[in-house]
Amino acid sequence: MSRSPIFLLLTSFSWQELRQHPWRTATALLAIMLGVALGFAVHVINQSALDEFSRAVRSVNGQPDLQLHAMQGGLPLALYPQVAKTQGIANAVPWLETTVLLPANHPGSASHATGDTSANSTKSAIQGATQGTALRVLGSDALKLAPVAPALMPKLFEGGNRLDLFAPDAVFLNAAALQALHLSPEQAINAPLQWLLNGQPQQLRIAGTVAASGAPLVVMDIAALQQKLQRFDSIDRIDLLLADSTDRSQITAALHALPAWQSQVLIQQPSDDQQRVGEMSRAYRVNLTVLALVALFTGAFLVFSVLALSVAQRAPQFALLAVLGATPRQRMALVLLEALALGVLGSLAGIALGSALAWLALQVLGGDLGGGFFSGVQPALHWSPVAALVFGLLGVAATLAGAWWPARAAMDLPPAATLKGLGSTHEKTPHLWPALLLLSASVALAFMPPVAGIPLAAYIAVGLLLLGGMAALPWLLGAVLGLVPARLSRQPLAMLALERARRMRHATTVAVGGVVASLSLAVALTVMVTSFRGSMMEWLDAVLPAPLYVRAAGGSSRVDAALLPADAAQRISQLPGVERAQAMRSSQLVLSPERPAISLLIRPLKGDQAMQLPWVDGPLTSTRSGIPVHISEAVAQLYDLKPGDEWPLLSKAFSLQTLDHQAQAATFYIASIWRDYVRQFGAVALDWQDYLALAGDGGNAAQISEVAIWPRHEGALTPAGLQADLQAAIEQAITTPGQPAPALEFVSSTSLRERSLRIFDRSFAVTYWLQAVAIGIGLFGIAASFSAQVLARRKEFGLLAHLGLTRRNVLSVVAAEGLAWTTLGAIAGTLLGLGVAVILVHVVNPQSFHWTMELRLPALRLLSLAAAVILAGVITAWLAGRKAASADAVLAVKEDW
């Protein structure tokens, strides 16, 4: 025969297979389509949100050549004129920043919030909690803004006074801020605006708009904002535009030589901000994408099962093709071409479905998918042809990978023996060494460090672990069958099932492959989420020791959170209804231009009333010179620190805060490492008295941002909230004589726990859905595999009927086989899932998010998953057996005559 007739014959053979078994085609197409759709949708959503968020950051930060920041606190105001006069600098723009709170009863204020100081962050059962919307406020010089940040250039309303650019009560809002206020541009003209800054109400008016996109934003004159913040000696940052042909290294050297220059001032590129934006959400985005591809991974096993059964069922036809002249390579190519067609069609359908899912998710859920990284951003769909091509190729590759072994089986089958019905009566003895090799490689990769902050080796280790477990299934089946009592083998019906399992291990492996793949991943994700949630609940108990917390409403900035009087905790502790109160303060440290800011938490950490932290390592009990600091796991990993180490970088950050303002800074050493599930890039805890010794008593250094309160009686906190008399007493105690009473936020530890768990469940909602899809594909694969297995044995059932077995006997054998196979798959899947869970909990999470957790096994949920899989397998096998056993036995056997 020539090549052309063989090609036509092979094509016709494949076409007939697709027409005669549409369910088989639909099963493989559905698996690949869902896998590609979920992966592509998650990628498009994340990329759209990241692009929109980055664009918003660029519009707010502008496009300066260089930026000057302080490692902590603000830049000395005396530095600005010196920088502006430096040769080679064409423009220097000063910036001041804070956050204010619009009270809920303000006309037009929104009922939802977008920032950390919003009402949602403090909404609780405590009565009197301030509710409103957080607004970011930027202060700068309007005369210098245009070349650096044109999107922040104030635009007056038509007919407005130009002097409003510098008026102390004039503010300019972006579109998101107007939307938060429920105001149209026409309604906003000279409209009054009231906000809370550090708990104090302030009256302003809307004088115009700015074009900046992103979250709600307000721009005003820097001098006016200095007056409202009472910050006359510092600014937050300076943006620099360099003159043409100016060398940046020379500018850097000139800046370091300025008299007002301090060692804690950082020079960074504008791209550093973009890099930090990407790093903040990268781990979440990568893990979510990998999780979405779990469905594609499961789909590859389903393709393997479907095509393996297809090849087994069509073995006589393949043998006939061999007799007619088809070479082994042509038979192999036939199966791979069938898989390629399925992969291309499934990938195209998946890209289309993924695009629709991404559009729907962006419209309904926004761009953060529960992660909270892109709050306040409403991204548009950014469809990427390159990403579509990549995910389409992944779908095709997964299909071809699943089809490889069935294609090899079609190539290796013996034509003569197969035509005589003997081709599948003997199988090669399964070898254990491939499984051991894969499992050993998985263990070795699990100990590898991350690559560019991404646990790539750990992801590969998970894949190899699953492949190794699948490769070990035939050996595991033999080991389990070896434990079967001999007396059970003497029973006719049991003997039929046992002998088939012994002689057809490959078929059994194919049948339970989908079970193992889907169940193992479901078990792993269930254990991981349960471990994380349980560890987080314990962590909340440790970090929220007080029943009640109070802080000023509104007013966080790069420098400090909203500040209360320095003696606020002492005043509150003297109230009759309060047992004790402790002061706390929070701020930020930027230790490196290339890394995100870390949090500085000042707490009472010494003495009898010291606050405890969820320790992981330490604290050190030995006394040594220097100031002890307690770092979170993220700081320990990112800065390669351990208990007992000195930390010169932190000393540099506090160099401006020493009492003598000299270059020599205090020496810090690491006293402990503690667990923190909120600040992904780290936090440093410092004792309150040590902080005061460093910062001194000048300015607002001694002011506090939050007070932890222990009421004297449990009745002080009622189910409806804080009793009115205790609330009024606290407000009166904090009010400075001669000053208006500050607006306070009251929040209970119970409500904080509830809100934290709601955020946790929202963050993992997508995880639950993706897990459900993977399980659904696996269960669909069980149905397809068992149906094909049973239907392919129609002749065998006809022969058993001739030998005297009743239809009930046949169904009993089929149901028993389904029970045995799915039980084996459930055991293997659960064991593999636990192994994957160990990698996820102890490797992927620490490398991705820089925190650890305790492994927890939800026995009831795991048993429920295994029981559901076993039940689905038994029911499917029984239903398929009914269909196969209902066929005419004589006709079934006659096909072999």
User: Minimal CA–CA distance to 440: which of 464, 466, 474?
Assistant: 464
The residue with greater pLDDT, 747 or 424, is 747
Dihedral angle of Cα 188, 193, 198, 201, to the nearest 10 degrees: -170
**Structure confidence at residue 670 as a pLDDT band (50, 70, 90):** very high
In a domain, 878, yes or no: no
Cis-peptide into 619, omega within 30 deg? yes
Q: Which two tokens stand for residue 763?
A: 């963050």
In a domain, 328, yes or no: yes
For residues 395-405, average pLDDT: 86
In a domain, 784, yes or no: no
Domain that holds residue 199: 90-235
**What's the number of CA atoms in the CB half-sphere (13 Å) around residue 628?**
18
* Whether residue 825 has pLDDT greater than 80: yes
pLDDT of residue 510: 66
Q: Which two tokens stand for residue 734?
A: 């904090």
Q: What is the pLDDT of residues 418-435, one digit of tens each?
A: 666 555 545 566 678 888
Taking every pair of C-alpha atoms in the chain, what is the biggest distance, in angstroms?
108
Find which of 193-202, 359-368, 566-575, 667-676 is predicted with most confidence, using mean pLDDT.
667-676
Buried b / exposed e over 183-193, threshold 16 CB at 10 Å, is beeeebbebeb
pLDDT of residue 786: 67
Lowest mean pLDDT among 107-111, 268-272, 650-654: 107-111
In a domain, 140, yes or no: yes
> What does pTM read for this prediction?
0.77
* Whether residue 881 has pLDDT greater than 90: no
Q: Identity (one letter) of the amino acid at 153?
A: M
User: Minimal CA–CA distance to 57: which of 278, 380, 225?
Assistant: 278
pLDDT of residue 663: 46
**Structure confidence at residue 476 as a pLDDT band (50, 70, 90):** confident
Q: Are residues 722 and 613 in the same domain?
A: yes
User: Minimal CA–CA distance to 394: which of 344, 349, 359?
Assistant: 344
pLDDT of residue 661: 45
In a domain, 814, yes or no: no
**Structure confidence at residue 47 as a pLDDT band (50, 70, 90):** confident
**Structure confidence at residue 454 as a pLDDT band (50, 70, 90):** confident
CA distance 366 to 48: 10
pLDDT of residue 683: 92
Q: What is the pLDDT of residues 793-803, one digit of tens each?
A: 666 777 777 77
For residues 120-127, average pLDDT: 32
In a domain, 360, yes or no: yes
Q: Identity (one letter) of the amino acid at 455?
A: P
Backbone dihedral region of 644: left (phi > 0), alpha (psi from -120 to 50 degrees) or beta? left
Q: Are residues 193 and 341 in the same domain?
A: no
**Structure confidence at residue 125 as a pLDDT band (50, 70, 90):** very low
For residues 631-655, average pLDDT: 88
pLDDT of residue 323: 78
Q: What is the pLDDT of residues 351-360, one digit of tens each?
A: 998 888 888 8
CA distance 545 to 91: 50
Kind plus residue range of the DSSP H or E element containing 722 = strand 721-722
* Whether residue 284 has pLDDT greater than 80: no
Q: Are residues 620 and 716 in the same domain?
A: yes
- Domains in the chain, number: 3
**Structure confidence at residue 857 as a pLDDT band (50, 70, 90):** very high
For residues 850-877, average pLDDT: 86
Distance of CA 765 to the CA centre of its chain: 11
pLDDT of residue 781: 65
Q: Are residues 336 and 190 in the same domain?
A: no
Contacts of 455 (CB under 8 A, 6+ apart): 843, 844, 847, 848
Lowest mean pLDDT among 198-202, 485-489, 681-685, 876-880: 485-489
Q: Are residues 712 and 570 in the same domain?
A: yes
**Structure confidence at residue 610 as a pLDDT band (50, 70, 90):** confident
User: Minimal CA–CA distance to 40: which of 360, 378, 347?
Assistant: 347
Q: Are residues 299 and 402 in the same domain?
A: yes
Q: Are residues 107 and 31 in the same domain?
A: no
Find which of 51-65, 738-752, 760-774, 833-847 is predicted with most confidence, using mean pLDDT.
833-847
For residues 105-121, average pLDDT: 38
Distance of CA 753 to the CA centre of its chain: 20
Q: Identity (one letter) of the amino acid at 427?
A: E
Helix axes 765-792, 807-839, angle to 10 degrees: 150
In a domain, 613, yes or no: yes
Determine what percent of the chain is predicted with pLDDT higher than 90: 15
Please say which residue of 714, 741, 768 terminates a domain.
Answer: 741
Q: Are residues 112 and 176 in the same domain?
A: yes
pLDDT of residue 96: 92
CA distance 710 to 707: 10
CB 153 within 8 A of CB 142: yes
User: Minimal CA–CA distance to 197: which of 450, 507, 563?
Assistant: 563
Q: What is the pLDDT of residues 583-595, one digit of tens each?
A: 898 888 888 877 7
The per-residue pLDDT of the chain, averaged, comes to: 78
* Whether residue 543 has pLDDT greater than 80: yes
Q: Are residues 123 and 227 in the same domain?
A: yes
* Whether residue 82 has pLDDT greater than 90: yes
* Whether residue 447 has pLDDT greater than 50: yes
Q: Which two tokens stand for residue 478?
A: 């033999």
pLDDT of residue 271: 62
The residue with greater pLDDT, 370 or 354, is 354
CB atoms within 10 A of CB 112: 11
For residues 508-533, average pLDDT: 81
CB 33 within 8 A of CB 350: yes
DSSP secondary structure letter of residue 714: G
Distance of CA 555 to the CA centre of its chain: 29
Lowest mean pLDDT among 53-62, 72-81, 595-604: 53-62
pLDDT of residue 92: 92
The residue with greater pLDDT, 859 or 622, is 859
Q: How far is CA 752 from CA 162, 544, 561, 614, 756, in A?
A: 46, 8, 18, 17, 6
Q: What is the pLDDT of residues 321-354, one digit of tens each?
A: 777 777 888 888 888 888 888 889 889 998 998 8
CA distance 893 to 890: 5
For residues 693-709, average pLDDT: 74
pLDDT of residue 208: 93
Q: Are residues 597 and 704 in the same domain?
A: yes
Buried b / exposed e over 194-220, threshold 16 CB at 10 Å, is ebbbbbbbeebebbbbbebbbbbbbbb
pLDDT of residue 153: 92
* Whether residue 8 has pLDDT greater than 50: yes
DSSP secondary structure letter of residue 740: P
pLDDT of residue 343: 87
What DSSP string describes 763-804?
HTHHHHHHHHHHHHHHHHHHHHHHHHHHHHTHHHHHHHHHTT
**Structure confidence at residue 127 as a pLDDT band (50, 70, 90):** very low
Q: Are residues 35 and 132 in the same domain?
A: no
Please say which residue of 741, 776, 799 terminates a domain.
Answer: 741
pLDDT of residue 128: 33
Q: Are residues 183 and 296 in the same domain?
A: no
Backbone angles phi, psi at 528, to 5 degrees: -65, -50
Determine what percent of the chain is predicted with pLDDT higher than 70: 75
Q: Identity (one letter) of the amino acid at 208?
A: G
pLDDT of residue 116: 37
User: Minimal CA–CA distance to 476: which of 525, 512, 527?
Assistant: 512
Please say which residue of 721, 741, 761 terminates a domain.
Answer: 741
For residues 654-673, average pLDDT: 68
Buried b / exposed e over 49-83, threshold 16 CB at 10 Å, is bbbbbbebbbbbbbebbbbbbbbbbbbbeebbebb
In a domain, 595, yes or no: yes
Contacts of 462 (CB under 8 A, 6+ apart): 442, 524, 836, 839, 840, 844
